[in-house]
């Protein structure tokens, strides 16, 4: 059994180039991948736009390294990798446009590097097609320029799995071993638990095929990326098990949850579906999601017939383990959770599409090519429509938060200050204030603590529609900013009159 698996992986590069045309690498192939990455950057800047304000989670991550507002509460599931990724810009500038442009350029660069790690494993047209398929998903474009970790886990997964296969094929390929370390570290730096799920098949394959150096590289990368998160677990939570338990509590209790339907509901552009009680989207919006596993299965069939099973089976296995916790172990959904799975599935899907439009002799099949082109054009149209609506809706939310922050300034709530209540975290960031909560996953203080703070600095409580005013704010001045009720502690008025 060990010999069979070892032979399967070893044959990835040594045997197949003689039997599979198109895997040799030409000078223009790097330019093709660069063109895909460049188009990805351009699409982010044009379709999402550098002017999109920071979202709720983004304000948490940016506040850890930025100067606009005090650091927000940082819950147990979060990791600081994406904050540090944003630090080169966020640490000295409050310009959202500059931060978005920086992240768009960086994501395009890393996508190009990630695709290059698969040279010799797939022909250049397949890699370019896979990059284009992944980069044109609305969720990839939307999160490309954002301070969020999931896309970076996906790119790290591409690097890690590709280099793993290269290292399996050539034990002397030190660059591939380094790529395994780098890709695993990038994943764990962003989301340690996601990194373990992605790497699970690799952690099994490395010892089964008796490759201790490869196993060591994989473990070293995961450990290096997760080191800060693990250390923080002992410093803040009393241990790794305690942090994982607290993370489960924050996420509503991890366990068996059939979240497949929730993920389907989120495909229409719901960036967070919690609770996920909305109706199912139109079938046209979900069609690509059902076609994805079917095309991936076709890609596996094509690979088996061509004698190149490992290069397709391994990314499929990693995609499956990456998606599993978000489909079956969590009680809510967000489209970005599945980005690592989409990135890995894009490779066999692109391989399958190329097989459909081109025969074994390399000649194009005109009818099939036209049908596939029409299907892809329709797919892109759906992705653009969902992206457009998502950008419009999220822009409106962020404009409303900025408007509320401006209203707080007019009421005398200016830094140093504190904001509590409904949507306190993003509004506080926009206002330059600290945020606090007395209940929920981001609990940081008590009602007595808020009263004591109100004696020193301006404090405001935000009351959303249908939400009651807490007892500590009953006697405070009552105002409205749009649909938001605002209770302002007397300290704010005293300070504004000085």
Q: Which residues contact 298 (CB under 8 A, 6 or more apart)?
A: 348, 352, 355, 356
Average pLDDT taken over every residue of the chain: 92
Q: Domain boundary at 234, 251, 268, which?
A: 251
pLDDT tens readout for residues 365-387: 999 999 999 999 999 999 999 99
pLDDT band at 491 (very low <50, low <70, confident <90, very high): confident
pLDDT grade for 24, boundaries at 50, 70 and 90: low
Residue 353 lies in a domain: no
Q: What span, in angstroms and rounded, lies between the C-alpha atoms of 242 and 196? A: 18
Last residue within a domain, chosen from 251, 275, 292: 251
pLDDT at 126 over 70: yes
Q: Is residue 265 part of a domain?
A: no
Those residues with Cβ within 8 angstroms of residue 300's Cβ, 6 or more apart along the chain or in another chain: 309, 312, 313, 316, 348
| Residue-wise pLDDT tens digits, 35-79 | 999 999 999 999 999 999 999 999 999 999 999 999 999 999 999
414-to-40, 200, 370, 425, 453 alpha-carbon distances in Å: 39, 49, 60, 15, 14
Does 72 fall in a domain? Answer: yes
Residue 317 lies in a domain: no
Task: Answer whether residue 75 is part of any domain.
Answer: yes
Over the stretch 155-206, which tens digit does the pLDDT of each residue have? 999 999 999 999 998 888 899 999 999 999 999 999 999 999 999 999 999 9
Q: pTM of the prediction?
A: 0.94
Domain annotation covers residue 301: no
Q: Is residue 357 part of a domain?
A: no
What's the token pair of residue 254?
């991890």
What total number of domains does the chain contain? Answer: 2
Q: What percent of the chain stands above pLDDT 90?
A: 81
Has residue 303 been placed in a domain?
Answer: no
Q: Residue 494 is inside which H or E element, if any?
A: helix 490-496
Task: Could you list the beta-strand ranges (E) of 259-305.
Answer: none
Write out the E strands in 193-241: none
CB environment 46-55: b (16+ within 10 A), e (fewer): ebbebebbbb
Domain ranges, residue 484: 395-496
Which of 251, 268, 293 terminates a domain? The answer is 251
What CA–CA distance (Å, rounded) separates 90 from 73?
A: 18
Q: Which helix (H) or strand (E) holds 421?
A: strand 418-421
Rounded Cα–Cα distance for residues 399 and 98 (Å): 18
Rounded to the nearest angstrom, the gap between the alpha carbon of residue 434 and the centroid of all alpha carbons in its chain is 26
The string of pLDDT tens digits covering residues 218-238 is: 999 999 999 999 999 999 999
Q: For residue range 236-289, what is the model confidence (pLDDT) as tens digits? A: 999 999 999 999 999 888 899 999 999 999 999 999 998 888 899 999 999 999
d(C-alpha 222, C-alpha 68), whole Å: 32
């Amino acid at each position: 059994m060990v010999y069979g698996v070892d032979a399967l992986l070893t044959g990835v590069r040594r045997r197949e180039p003689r039997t599979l045309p198109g895997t040799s690498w030409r000078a223009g192939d790097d330019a093709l991948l660069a063109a895909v990455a460049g188009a990805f950057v351009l699409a982010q800047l044009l379709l999402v736009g550098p002017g999109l304000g920071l979202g709720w989670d983004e304000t948490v991550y940016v506040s850890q390294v930025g100067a606009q507002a005090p650091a927000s509460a940082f819950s147990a599931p979060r990791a600081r990798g994406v904050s540090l990724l944003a630090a080169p810009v966020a640490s000295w500038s409050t310009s959202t446009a500059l931060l978005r442009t920086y992240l768009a350029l960086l994501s395009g660069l890393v996508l190009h590097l990630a695709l290059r790690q698969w040279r010799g494993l797939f022909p250049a047209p397949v890699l370019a097609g896979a990059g284009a398929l992944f980069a044109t998903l609305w969720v990839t474009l939307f999160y490309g320029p954002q301070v969020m970790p999931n896309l970076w886990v996906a790119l790290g997964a591409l690097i890690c799995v590709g280099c793993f296969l290269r290292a399996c094929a050539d034990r002397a390929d030190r660059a591939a071993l380094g790529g395994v370390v780098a890709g695993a570290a990038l994943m764990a730096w962003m989301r340690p638990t996601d990194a373990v799920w992605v790497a699970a098949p690799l952690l099994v394959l490395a010892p089964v095929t008796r490759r201790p150096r490869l196993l060591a590289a994989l473990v070293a990368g995961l450990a290096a990326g997760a080191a800060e998160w693990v250390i923080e677990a002992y410093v803040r939570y009393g241990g790794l098990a305690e942090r994982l338990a607290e993370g489960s509590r924050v996420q509503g209790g991890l366990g068996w949850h059939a979240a497949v339907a929730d993920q389907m509901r989120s495909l229409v552009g719901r960036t967070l579906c919690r609770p996920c009680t909305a109706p199912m989207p139109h079938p046209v919006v979900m069609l690509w999601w059902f076609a994805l596993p079917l095309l991936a299965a076709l890609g596996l069939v094509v690979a088996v017939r061509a004698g190149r099973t490992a290069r397709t089976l391994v990314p499929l296995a990693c995609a499956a383990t990456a998606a599993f916790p978000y489909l079956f172990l969590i009680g809510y959904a967000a489209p970005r959770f599945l980005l690592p799975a989409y990135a890995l599935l894009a490779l066999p899907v692109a391989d399958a599409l190329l097989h459909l439009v081109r025969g074994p002799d390399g000649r194009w099949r005109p009818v099939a090519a036209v049908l596939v082109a029409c299907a892809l054009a329709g797919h892109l149209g759906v992705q653009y429509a969902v992206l457009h609506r998502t950008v419009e809706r999220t822009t409106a939310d962020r404009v409303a938060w900025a408007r509320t922050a401006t209203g707080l300034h007019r009421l005398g709530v200016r830094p140093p200050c504190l904001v509590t209540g409904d949507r306190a975290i993003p509004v506080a960031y926009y206002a330059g204030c600290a945020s606090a909560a007395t209940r929920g996953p981001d609990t940081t203080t008590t009602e007595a603590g808020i009263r004591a703070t109100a004696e020193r600095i301006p404090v405001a409580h935000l009351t959303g529609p249908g939400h009651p005013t807490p007892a500590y704010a009953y006697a405070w001045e009552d105002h409205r900013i749009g649909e938001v009720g605002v209770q302002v502690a007397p300290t704010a008025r005293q300070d504004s009159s000085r």
